[in-house]
A and B are shown apart, each in its own frame.
Chain A
Amino acid sequence: MKKKWMFLTASVLTASLALAACGGASDTGGETTDSEGGGSGDEQIKLRMSWWGSQERHDMTFKIIEMYEKENPNIKIEPEFTGWDGYFERMAAQAAGNNLPDIMQQNFGEYLNLYASQGLLADLNEFKDSGDLDLSKVDDSIVQSGMKDDQLLGIPSGTNALTAVYNAEMLEEAGADLPTDDWTWEDFEEIAYKVHDELDTYGTRSYEAGNIFEYYLREQGFALFNEDGTALGYDDDQILTDYLTRAKQMVDDGVAPGYDVIQQIQGIEDELIVHKNAPFDLRWSNQMKTMSMAADYTFDLNVLPGDNISQGMYLKPAMLWSVSENSEHKEEAVKFINFFTNTKEVFDTIGSDRGVPINNEIREEMRADLDEIETKIYDYIDKVTENSSPIDTNFPAQSSEILTELNTIDERVMYGQITPEEGAAEFRKSAEMILGN
């Protein structure tokens, strides 16, 4: 009896230890998916393509892939898609296995720069020169946003801007003023409090710290990172203290929901503004289409509040199309990106879900038959184009971790574990440490 149990215990123990070590080791081994890369020459070529998004986006993207495959019978595109959560972790596992998809939906800023720093993305300049990639109808400033160190690493799928999206009906019902192009944070808060008092709903969704704090900095003439991305781009911690104090006050007063509520939102179709639980939300313009399809009314779009709005506002590539360095079919991958960028039918299908088209001609042609919310998005992007400053591109490779840290601190302040002052100081300390200063 003793022998039997000892043996069993010992053998299971050995197996578990092996498993435990393996759990760690698999980080490095990466996950190998079954991609054979396809044949050679003019035969059937398989391209793997990945993106994140909502179900709407998945469906629309399938149609575009179908369209492309019909025109190019020798190309077979294998889609790999998830929601935003987990997308970059999945990509990271593939990157570790040197197995990134041929066509990859990338994100501007922290992610593009992180991938660039590891040499994971192909430089598309040669394809631009060879004519496979036609960017002649795209503004230079937009092409620029896909560049890092003179390498063209991503083609914007469309243009995007932060917006204060609102429910005009709720504001009117509460007897509040409608937002204007030159409103301040005080104006914004006044409306939010009024709606909260009158309608007994939230006055606004609480802010997503990464995006809104960055805007808050820009609007006051600073940036999140300094020019060469080696330190924070502002010296006075009072700015973050102010930002956190404002945000916390609203949460404390019940005007904005706390993290316990935010955490339960499953996808953008489930946001407070969709269910008329709040009249305001500060987020990206390309999300309006999906959100308004989930809601039974149409939103209105306004610029974010502030004292120097045009200094704070900027156009951003909604997302980028990149080709991985390990791809065996770079040229074919680029041709698909070219198709996506320069074909009107693509945008007839996808609308502004991946941003407003960057090809100037297509953008103008599209105007003719836009639905209500898309018209608003196009008009809004036009407005921001004229009243904005260039996007900051100086994100260090560690910025993903720094933004996570900012969110953690935001969370701790909202829960009242630390004060805004402490949060601001701690953020600086952590950021400096992550940047290795």
Chain B
Amino acid sequence: MAQNQTGKETVVPVKPPFKKPFKRPKRLRTGYEELSGYAFISPFIIGLVAFTLYPIVYSLYLSFTNYGMGGEYEWIGLANYERMFTTDDTWRQSLKVTFLYAGTAVPLRLVFALMVAVALNKIVEAVGLYRTMLYLPSVVGGSIGISIMWRQLFGNDGAFNSVLASIGLPTHSWLGDPGTAIWTLVALYGWQFGSSMLIFLAGLRNIPKTFYEASAVDGAKPWQQFFKITIPLLTPVILFNTIMQTIQGFMAFTPSFIVTNGGPMNSTLLYVLYMYRRAFEFFDMGYASAMAWVMLIIIAIFTAVIFKSSDKWVHYND
């Protein structure tokens, strides 16, 4: 409903923007129209086929071979998969580490992102500045530089220990202790909450203010508003973020490669890092391809489960 300056309602001529019947402009048919259409999308099609479809199919084929690196190789059926599931202790360890990592780092990041988004949503002044500052870690987050910084930060003589020492707390070898090394990586993942935060923020902006006003009139406390209004109305965004982050968590590589290189005692050996080692350190390409496929299936299962469960807890406001 439109209003003019004085606040008095005026009748605006209703003009449905999309109801007008579409009329193709008169033009000579040249027969090249379809062709030019394909030409326009060809960069995507070629990219998809050459860099995505072909490698995917090829890696599936390789996973049934003992392909090393160049040289001869042969079809060995399911032997790679059999070895993975029966004898490879390191594979089992990497899977365990990855589940622990994804299982803790993803919720940590989501909770953190949501908390910051809610706080940001309340800020009125200079919101752009805060948003940029909080998003910054995610922009640089996946980079080698941050991982190297993290290694320094949690090193034996690192900043974290210095702070602990200065307030009289005992220091610890965070990266050297197999019990704590993984948590430094979890913290790194949680710290890079920027992109989830922005999506949460967009979702929060979508919640009509009237709900809060109405509930405030009825005497709802802020925390009641949070759990009864904000969370339910945000569930589609939560679902989206959860799936995104779960996939990212399973595929994490850089932190364990740079910060700890899988150590100590393989306590931070993420799945993708082990896959990389098999492929590029031990020239075990067929096996690494098989590992990639197993990871694909694991991610697909997790995503399907989250999707399936969404009927139970996601509310669509329509």
Contact = CB atoms under 8 A, between A and B. Distances in A.
B70 interface: yes
B71 A400 contact: no
Nearest to B233: A1
A5 B69 contact: no
A116 to B, nearest CB: 10
Nearest to B290: A24
Given A5-B240, A92-B280, A260-B175, A28 B70 contact: no
Contact of A260 (B68, B176, B288): B176
B70 A118 contact: yes
Contacts of B288: 24, 27
Given A5-B237, A22-B55, A408-B265, A27 B275 contact: yes
Contact of A27 (B243, B264, B279): B279
B316 interface: yes
Interface in B268-318: 272, 275-277, 279-285, 288-289, 291-293, 295-296, 299-300, 303, 307, 316-318
Interface residues of A, number: 51
Nearest to A5: B236
Interface string A241-256: 0000000000000000
Interface stretch (B56-64, B99-107, B132-140, B162-170): B56-64
B316 A5 contact: yes
A24 B285 contact: no
Interface string A92-128: 1101101000000000000000100111100000000
B55 A25 contact: yes
A17 interface: yes
A92 B279 contact: yes
A39 interface: no
Contacts of B279: 27, 92
A1 B55 contact: no
Contact of A21 (B67, B260, B291, B296): B296
Nearest to A16: B247
Contacts of A27: 59, 275-276, 279-280, 285, 288-289, 292
A121 to B, nearest CB: 10
A20 interface: yes
Contacts of A397: 283
A410 to B, nearest CB: 10
Contacts of A412: 265
A264 B240 contact: no
Contacts of A259: 176, 263-264
Given A25-B59, A118-B68, A260-B176, A12 B244 contact: yes
B51 interface: yes
Contact of A23 (B58, B157, B280, B292): B292
Nearest to B61: A28
Contact of A120 (B69, B260, B285, B307): B69
A12 B56 contact: no
A387 B9 CA distance: 105
A136 interface: no
Contact of A20 (B62, B251, B264, B277): B251
Contacts of B291: 24
Contact of A89 (B70, B237, B281): B281
A26 to B, nearest CB: 7
A117 to B, nearest CB: 7
A2 B318 contact: yes
A368 interface: no
A37 interface: no
A263 interface: yes
A60 B14 CA distance: 78
A50 to B, nearest CB: 15
Interface in B234-252: 236-237, 239-240, 243-244, 247, 250-251
Nearest to A90: B280
A36 to B, nearest CB: 20
Contacts of A92: 69, 279-281, 283
A433 interface: yes
A258 B176 contact: yes
Interface string A404-432: 10001001100101000000000000000
B216 to A, nearest CB: 24
A18 B52 contact: yes
A29 interface: yes
A29 B55 contact: yes
A5 B87 contact: no
Contact of B281 (A8, A88, A415): A88
A67 interface: no
22 contacts: A5-B240, A9-B240, A9-B243, A17-B300, A22-B56, A23-B272, A25-B56, A26-B55, A28-B59, A28-B62, A29-B51, A85-B261, A88-B281, A93-B280, A118-B69, A118-B70, A258-B176, A263-B175, A408-B265, A411-B265, A415-B264, A415-B265
Interface of A: 1-2, 5, 8-9, 12-13, 16-29, 85, 88-89, 92-93, 95-96, 98, 114, 117-120, 258-261, 263-264, 397-398, 400-401, 404, 408, 411-412, 415, 417, 433
Interface of B: 51-52, 55-56, 58-59, 62, 67-71, 87, 155-157, 173, 175-178, 236-237, 239-240, 243-244, 247, 250-251, 260-261, 263-266, 272, 275-277, 279-285, 288-289, 291-293, 295-296, 299-300, 303, 307, 316-318
Name the 9 nearest CB pairs between A and B, nearest first: A24-B292, A260-B176, A25-B55, A2-B316, A5-B236, A25-B59, A92-B280, A260-B173, A89-B280
